Structure 1
Amino acid sequence: MKLSEQVQKVLTKIQNIEVPEGLRPWEAGRIFYEKFIPLAGEKEPVFKIDEKELTNDGHPVRLRIYRPTNHDRSPFIIYFHGGWFNAGNLETHDTPLCQLANLSKTVIIAVDYRLAPEHAFPAGLNDCEFAVKWIIENASFLNLDPTKITIAGDSAGAALAATVTRKFRNNIHAQLLIYPVTDNSLETPSWKEFQNGPLLDLKGGIQAWDWYLSGSADRGNPDAVPLLADDLQNLPPTFVAVAEYDPLRDEGILYAEKLKTNGISVNLKLYKGTTHGFFQMGGFIDDAKVLMQDMAEFIKNQNS
């Protein structure tokens, strides 16, 4: 394994993160993940940031809207954060989304959905679908262009993005999946090769899926496990990013290949020397900036 020097330094920083004792495992995991925030670097100013709170079935669903310009009827991205379905929030992805909004000159709406294990599948997905439906119905009120919607996410958020795109395919202009979670078998060659990391490991993967899919009947549900989906026709152009030393690498590639066999235009890119999570590490890892540029170029091409 030939990790870049920058990635190795970041992994050393992560290994030295301390979390208070006495917490439940998922609570400790959330604090641990939130301590990644400084790795993204300095937060860029954005022209305007608004927040809205919706209510889905009695539960709050917060939205954070990044507007890089004051243009009317802007194209926009609806973004779902990563965190193995049990961690992450609007703050964990705030800095990279500011950067992506400015770079792509595209409005980004981040969705804060419910997390497992307190809220197992399909609670988080339901929040995401509810938010997308509300945003589409209120696009004019939000001064957005409802004909140019990109659905995006990283890791577990990319799994949610893939399912949302399938369900709203007639409304979605493009999708953008960053090292997506697509398969709960955890048996791909990359899972076997990197079962002990870096960053993600097999034990954590098993635990994450157990928390997320509390019912055995859901383990074969394509809405939870994107690689199991067979209705992949007529989906929008898709960008898929995978990291070379990531246990999720092969399932991301498999999903991209399955999309291609269904006639979908796919831009698949492998980022060498990197590991999972590097999208959020742009303050230390140059490849995060390369990924940002690639994403922005893809978005601009789809919206032109």
Structure 2
Amino acid sequence: MPIDPQAARLMAMLGASRPTDWPSVSAVERRAGFAALMRMAGAPPALPSVRPVAVAGAEGPLEARLYAPSRDPGPGLVYFHGGGFVAGDLDTHDALCRSLALGAGCRVVSVAYRLAPEHPFPAAVDDAEAATADVIARAAAFDIDPARVAVGGDSAGGTLATLAAGALGPRLALQLLLCPVLDAAPATASRRSFARGHLLDAAMMARDLADYAPGAPDPADPRLSPLHRPGLAAMPRALIHTAEFDPLRDEGALYAERLAAAGVAVEHRCHPGMIHHFYGLTGLVPAARAALGAIAAGLGAALAGSDAPGRPGAGAAL
């Protein structure tokens, strides 16, 4: 189907004001631009309880935020925000985490991992693995059922979520990946087709990668590119959501195929007409609201156990 008209209008508006020389854009400017976009995305939904907490990082405590849709204990989601490993924070993803908590009926622990370029690769990966393990170990402190802990993230946060899932395996109920970055080598058709003018420009991603992993490390390093990770059989069930007009679309689909081939229960949905980060732009792209609602509902059903994963490797399309 054609691109959603509101999404197209947003991209046209952003295209008129975005930098044309990404190599010269500093991390401070990148963060400010992303924060400004998210302030345009609308007011966050109300939630009974939102409070600051601390979780363990690889080199010390990390700030985090606990979202609780009710006072009752229940399942939990450890969440890592997107932003190219350079931008994004607890505030840019506040509305999204509130929506996931409400729609899924689960507690969400949003983690402020260390950002590049101040803390280059693999600092964020190490933080994600340590934070996820800490939430599992201290689940009772967050009123989370330790048998129903998921890990999730969007874009760069999706990289971190699936790496944490690989490190912790059967201790996690599932992984939720929203438009994840899974390959540092831009070789897919969607990376080429949507390299410019689709919110996530190739030049922007190249600059983020240079900040995140300086020195041109091997792009096939599985901690940099989870698509190349060997031995996926021990991974937890995966819920993967991609967008039709996103440069990252194809690597998300390929990862779903690889997980299914390894015998992992995986559900993949490519949202028609949507662009990268649609789930965080519901105030600007009305059609994205229903998509985010479906994402949250699917997460809630999976954590409640009411949506059976089916036979391993079924790779069902949502």
Secondary structure in structure 2 of the residue aligned to 1:268: strand
Q: How many residues align?
A: 300
Question: Separation in 2 of the partners of 1:199 and 1:181?
Answer: 14
Cα deviation for residue 69 of structure 1 reads 0.3
Secondary structure in structure 1 of the residue aligned to 2:142: coil
Q: Does 1:105 align with 2:105?
A: yes
Secondary structure in structure 2 of the residue aligned to 1:251: helix
Do the aligned residues in 2 keep the contact of 1:97 with 1:108 (CA within 8 Å)? yes
Cα deviation for residue 28 of structure 1 reads 0.6
Q: Does 1:256 align with 2:256?
A: yes
Question: Separation in 1 of the partners of 2:57 and 2:182?
Answer: 26
Q: Deviations along 1:132-159, whole A, 9 cap, x unmatched? A: 1221111122221010011111000001
Question: Which AA in structure 2 matches 1:42?
Answer: A
Judge which range, 23-32 or 141-150, deviates more: 23-32
Question: Separation in 1 of the partners of 2:55 and 2:173?
Answer: 24
Do the aligned residues in 2 keep the contact of 1:186 with 1:205 (CA within 8 Å)? no
Partner of 2:243: 243
Q: Deviations along 1:181-213, whole A, 9 cap, x unmatched? A: 001110111111111231112222222222211
Cα deviation for residue 60 of structure 1 reads 4.6
Partner of 2:66: 65
Matches within 5 A, 1:50-199: 50-54=51-55, 56=57, 59-72=60-73, 74-199=74-199
Question: Separation in 2 of the partners of 1:57 and 1:129?
Answer: 8
Question: Separation in 1 of the partners of 2:78 and 2:91?
Answer: 16
Q: Deviations along 1:248-285, whole A, 9 cap, x unmatched? A: 11111111111111111111111111111111111122
Question: Which AA in structure 1 matches 2:260?
Answer: K
Question: Separation in 1 of the partners of 2:13 and 2:216?
Answer: 37
Question: Separation in 2 of the partners of 1:57 and 1:234?
Answer: 23
Judge which range, 53-62 or 85-94, deviates more: 53-62
Judge which range, 207-216 or 157-166, deviates more: 207-216
Partner of 1:37: 38
Do the aligned residues in 1 keep the contact of 2:104 with 2:301 (CA within 8 Å)? no
Cα deviation for residue 97 of structure 1 reads 1.2
Question: Separation in 2 of the partners of 1:17 and 1:93?
Answer: 22
Q: Deviations along 1:211-266, whole A, 9 cap, x unmatched? A: 21124445332112110101210322211111111111111111111111111111
Question: Which AA in structure 1 matches 2:206?
Answer: I
Identity of aligned residues (%): 31
Partner of 1:210: 210
Do the aligned residues in 1 keep the contact of 2:58 with 2:127 (CA within 8 Å)? no
Cα deviation for residue 58 of structure 1 reads 5.0
- TM-score of the two chains, using structure 2 as the length reference: 0.89
Aligned Cα root-mean-square deviation (Å):
1.9
Question: Which AA in structure 2 matches 1:61?
Answer: L
Cα deviation for residue 160 of structure 1 reads 0.6
Question: Separation in 2 of the partners of 1:17 and 1:95?
Answer: 24
Q: Does 1:269 align with 2:278?
A: no
Question: Which AA in structure 2 matches 1:224?
Answer: L
Question: Separation in 1 of the partners of 2:18 and 2:196?
Answer: 20
Cα deviation for residue 56 of structure 1 reads 3.7
Closer/same/farther in 2, CA of residues 217 and 11 from structure 1, 3 Å limit: closer
Partner of 2:48: 47
Question: Separation in 2 of the partners of 1:18 and 1:217?
Answer: 28
Judge which range, 215-224 or 268-277, deviates more: 215-224
Question: Which AA in structure 2 matches 1:108?
Answer: V
**5+ residue gaps, structure 1:** none
Secondary structure in structure 2 of the residue aligned to 1:232: coil
Cα deviation for residue 105 of structure 1 reads 1.1
Closer/same/farther in 2, CA of residues 76 and 17 from structure 1, 3 Å limit: farther
Partner of 1:226: 226
Do the aligned residues in 1 keep the contact of 2:47 with 2:98 (CA within 8 Å)? yes
Cα deviation for residue 17 of structure 1 reads 5.3
Question: Which AA in structure 1 matches 2:45?
Answer: E
Do the aligned residues in 2 keep the contact of 1:271 with 1:287 (CA within 8 Å)? no
